[in-house]
Structure 1
Amino acid sequence: MSTQKRRPTGVQAHSRREFLAQSGMLAAASTAALSGMVRAHVAEDPTIRLALIGCGGRGTGAVGDAFSVPGAPVRLHVMADLFQDRLDGSLNALRTNFADRMDVTPERCFTGFDAYRKALDELRPGDIAILATHSVFRPMHFEYAVQKGVNVFMEKSFAVDAPANRRLLRAAEESEKKNLKVGCGFMWRHSKARQALVDRIRDGAIGDVHTLRIYRVHGPVYVPMRAPNRNPIEFQIRAATCFNWVSGGFFIDWHCHNVDQACWVKDAWPVEAQAMGGRCFAEAGNNFDHYCIEYTFADGAKLFAFSRHMNHCWETYSDYVHGAKGSAVLMESLAQPNPRIYKSQRMDKSEIVWQYPEPDVNPYHAEWAVLLDAVMNDKPHNEARRAGLANLAALMGRMAAHTGQRVTWEEAMNSEFQYVDDIDHLSFESTPPIQEGPDGLFPCAIPGVTNEI
Structure 2
Amino acid sequence: MENHPSRRNFLKTSTAAAAGATLTSTIARTAHAQGSDEIKFALIGCGGRGNGASVNMFKSGGNVKLVAVADAFDGKASATINSLSKRYKDKVDVPAEHKFVGLDAYKKLLEVDADLVIIATPPGFKPQQFEAAVKAGKHIFMEKPVASDATGVRRVLASVEESKKKNLMVGIGLQRRHEAQYLETIGRIHDGAIGDVIATRVYWNGGGIWYRNRTEEQTEMAFQCNNWYHFNWLSGDQICEQHIHNLDVGCWLKGEYPVECNGMGGREQRMDGDPTKSQIFDHTFCEYTFADGTKMFSQGRHLKGSWTHVAEYAHGTKGTADVSGSQISGEGGDWKFSGQRQQGHQQEQNDLIAALGRGEIYNEGEYGALSTFTAILGREACYSGKVIKWDDLLNKGRELAPGIDDYTIDTPPPESALPGPDGKYPIPVPGQYDPFA
- State TM-score, norm by structure 2: 0.88
Equivalent residues of 1:59, 1:130 under 8 A apart: yes
Residue 315 of structure 2 corresponds to 322
Residue 380 of structure 1 corresponds to 361
- Distance change >3 Å, CA 39–CA 427, structure 1 → 2: closer
Equivalent residues of 2:102, 2:409 under 8 A apart: no
1:56 to 47, 50, 54: 47
| Structure 2 stretches lacking a partner, 5+ long | 1-26, 272-276
Distance (Å, rounded) in 2 between the aligned partners of 1:63 and 1:141: 18
Cα deviation code 1:295-344 (max 9, x no counterpart): 0111111101101111111111111111111111111xxxxxx3101238
Cα deviation code 1:166-204 (max 9, x no counterpart): 111111110011111111101100000011101110111
Residue 10 of structure 2 corresponds to none
Query: How far 1:418 moved relative to its partner?
Result: 1.0
Equivalent residues of 2:72, 2:409 under 8 A apart: no
Work out whether 1:428 is the aligned partner of 2:409: yes
Work out whether 1:450 is the aligned partner of 2:437: no
Query: How far 1:69 moved relative to its partner?
Result: 1.9
Query: How far 1:437 moved relative to its partner?
Result: 3.7
SS in 2 for 1:322: strand
Over the residues paired in the alignment, what is the CA RMSD in angstroms? 2.1
- Distance change >3 Å, CA 168–CA 432, structure 1 → 2: same
2:284 to 267, 291, 295: 291
Work out whether 1:99 is the aligned partner of 2:89: yes
2:303 to 293, 307, 310: 310
Work out whether 1:255 is the aligned partner of 2:243: yes
Cα deviation code 1:30-72 (max 9, x no counterpart): xxxxxxxx965422143211001101110111111111222x2
Distance (Å, rounded) in 1 between the aligned partners of 2:85 and 2:212: 32
Distance (Å, rounded) in 1 between the aligned partners of 2:53 and 2:281: 29
Cα deviation code 1:130-151 (max 9, x no counterpart): 0111111111111111111110
SS in 2 for 1:55: coil
Q: 5 Å matches for 1:18-417?
A: 40-42=29-31, 43-44=33-34, 45-70=36-61, 72-124=62-114, 127-221=115-209, 223=211, 226=214, 230-283=218-271, 285-331=278-324, 338-343=325-330, 353-417=334-398
Distance (Å, rounded) in 2 between the aligned partners of 1:104 and 1:225: 31
- Distance change >3 Å, CA 41–CA 200, structure 1 → 2: farther
Equivalent residues of 1:392, 1:412 under 8 A apart: no
SS in 1 for 2:82: helix
Equivalent residues of 2:319, 2:329 under 8 A apart: yes
One-letter amino acid of the counterpart of residue 136, structure 2: K
Distance (Å, rounded) in 2 between the aligned partners of 1:343 and 1:439: 58
Residue 34 of structure 1 corresponds to none
Distance (Å, rounded) in 1 between the aligned partners of 2:210 and 2:424: 12
Equivalent residues of 1:435, 1:442 under 8 A apart: yes
Query: How far 1:359 moved relative to its partner?
Result: 3.7
- Distance change >3 Å, CA 275–CA 296, structure 1 → 2: same
- Distance change >3 Å, CA 285–CA 352, structure 1 → 2: farther
Cα deviation code 1:266-288 (max 9, x no counterpart): 01111110001111134171111
Cα deviation code 1:418-449 (max 9, x no counterpart): 12210111123322221234443323101121
- State TM-score, norm by structure 1: 0.85
Distance (Å, rounded) in 2 between the aligned partners of 1:252 and 1:362: 21
Give the total of aligned pairs: 403
Query: How far 1:219 moved relative to its partner?
Result: 1.0
One-letter amino acid of the counterpart of residue 363, structure 1: G
Query: How far 1:128 moved relative to its partner?
Result: 0.3
Query: How far 1:223 moved relative to its partner?
Result: 4.2
Distance (Å, rounded) in 1 between the aligned partners of 2:269 and 2:248: 28
Equivalent residues of 1:340, 1:352 under 8 A apart: no
Query: How far 1:249 moved relative to its partner?
Result: 1.4
Cα deviation code 1:143-167 (max 9, x no counterpart): 1111111100001111010111111
Residue 16 of structure 1 corresponds to none
Cα deviation code 1:405-429 (max 9, x no counterpart): 1111101211241122101111233
